[in-house]
Structure 1
Amino acid sequence: MNLSFLPRYLHSFNRYKWLVLALITAGLGIGGVMALQIEPVPKYIATGSLRGNELTDSVSETTRQIINQGQQFSQPEELVGLLLADNVIQAVANNVNLSPVEVRDRLLLKLPSPETSGSLLVMYQDNNSERALQTASGLMEAMVQQSQLINTARLKGVVEQLNLRLAQARQELQGAQQNLEQYYGVDEAKRSQLQQQVTLKQERLTQIQTAVTEATTAQGEMISSLRIAESPQVAETKANQRFITTLALGAIAGLCLSALVILVLALVTNPLHYKAFRRQLLAAYKGRCPITGCDVEAALEVVRLDPNRLTRSSDIWNGLILRADIQRLFAAKQIAIEPGTLQVLLSPELGKTNYAKLAGRRLSVPEEEADQPNLDALDAHYRQCPWITDFTPKLEETNDLKSV
């Protein structure tokens, strides 16, 4: 078969272009339906930023540790769970006449990173610019207040643990002192060991008392771990971007599907079309090669004179049935048919071989004028042969062809 894959594909594409158009239209339709199901992107977005609170050198170590702990977040979900609890979201939602679900769904958070210049970005989307600004401001203020409340609760827990440890340390010191007072032996080593235990218990008690004092002082120093670095600013968003993107994806999906369908059709239907076309050519040329006269059907191959042209199996005028070797030489532009006289022409290389005897032969054509080879297609092939330099004017098809 001389019809290469690309021409076959283009042939099928041209033949089934209505199917391509239908699939692209279907893809656009499905994309449009899906785009309508997507919730529209809010028109405005308010963006502000929070940063960690800066501490002075005078604050206690306990205060510093608790505030630093409140600045460590591994993911936005953890941040929302701690600083934007349900009661906080509910209070902000009530203030702007929205549901808590709406507020959560429209809230976006970006953790501190080089991309955000080390700031925690708070973004809120809404179709109303004033409400977007009001909600974003309310959320940021609530996060700062919630951070302080969390820090205070953590400090309270530290104080409670220290008080428990302080009571236990006092009991242990009293026990060590009683052991020393009740020892009446003469073993100096034993007495020295008991005295050392009293000293160690006293030192531990002193350390805990110092920590309690520091924690008590921290209660007056405790602040939020976060502060508002930049107040929210409102900007417009590209509200139709998702809709247009979904439509485009639908069209692309339709185009890809149509390309796949055409590929299948090119692989399946063209071989079937080739077989039907071959049968028609064999019948028109009476099972003989019109150049050599070979009548061995298995040795004959189809030549499409214009392989890029949409051809039905009944369009005998766009084909020849040639002996396999002649077919290959014809396809390689080593053999040509002069369109005016229908004489066989050979390249200089073939003129020195056993094929030289074919030179000057006239092409045998079918009796039916409609089945005779198209002169324009023969002329196009003739002019593509690089070894032909002296082109003769193309003669119009006449009734003389019947006598050739």
Structure 2
Amino acid sequence: MPLMPFEPISDIDPNAQLPKLAIVTTEIGIPSEIWMLRQAHALRAFDRSLWGWSRHADASDQPLREVRIPGGFPTPKGILARGLRKIGHPAALRMTAAERAAVQGVLAKERPDIVLAHFGWNAILMAQVLPKDVPLVVHVHGRDASAMLEERSYRQALAQTLERADALVAVGQHQIKRLRPLGLPDRVALIPCGAPLDLFAAQELPTQPDIGDHQPIRFATLGRLSHEKGMIETLSAFETCLRKLGEGELVIIGFGPLQDTLQREIAQRGMGDHVRLTGRLSPPEIAQELAQAHVYLQHSQIYNGWTEGFGVTLTEAGAVGLPLLASASGGLIDQIEEGENGFLFPPGDVAAQAELMLKLARDAALRRSLGEGARRLAARFDAAHMSVQLEHLLQEVLAQH
């Protein structure tokens, strides 16, 4: 089953001479970057193609043309490259002659009018071979604008790339702040990932039971099951709530490397009757799960230098109409208006998260108010609107290059 249904492209004149946009990523169809495919699909003012060195095994079927760059993804090789990386020289990220030839061959064949490079490391590679008359737009996500910056060779190579770039797109304010010391292009745009409101805001607001209704509070969290998403911390916070409330449910939506660890933790803590792991779900199934919850949790944290870029799952839950409890980390801060759509707590602070969970579990009126605010404020990040902003930026860059 595909992770995201895409409708056929039917409103474009097949005879129209649209400018050719190459959308470059490392691996086409990464499930955690489904918003990127939605965005690419919506850029209808361009003749789009998706470029990558590989295709993810779980990639969705989608109508855009895919272009495979021959050979594996370029990584530093050999004694010289390792030495350059050790001393922090940007040449450590320079492609080999064969790798450059592979990308140049695709460029010569496809002849794009403009390139949108997702992730800083892909922008670094494209800047090495892209003709000067083809504009380059760099789109940063998360790790490429946080953890990777700890490496001097990457940091310097990205600075050189931003000097050549025509525009930078960031999904969070914190990324622009972090990249500013490297030197920014003249055009810098804050365009969050966004969520499809037509899917996640399609139903009535979730029903928020009062204490006397004898309906256990249901918390939900969504994302990759990994350390940086704070899944273990959220489980621990729920355990505290469960002891004090005596009842409740936590639904963990998603899949990832911590799935087995979470299952063991749930069993060892005797919480099997109160915690449910859904595994991988399609976006419509995710929307349905969220609509049956009462409070949404997201405990993203800084992990090995990684910082949450935007946090699209927080937007999705807000669009559904759930009150939001999130860690004050990365792009999550941009989304929470405290007391309007939810509350923030310090990353890693399980006790603070549990306290807020208890506060909302005991106050149905507050949950209703925050849920209404969450849906209203989620409209700021409608995926359709975000795509229009990006499309306009690309058109401006192309027109003025």
TM over 0.5: no
Relative to its length, the structure with more strand (as a share) is 2
TM-score w.r.t. length of structure 1: 0.18
Relative to its length, the structure with more helix (as a share) is 1
Question: Relative CO higher for 1 or 2, CA cutoff 8 Å, sep ≥ 6?
Answer: 1
Larger Rg: 1
TM-score w.r.t. length of structure 2: 0.19
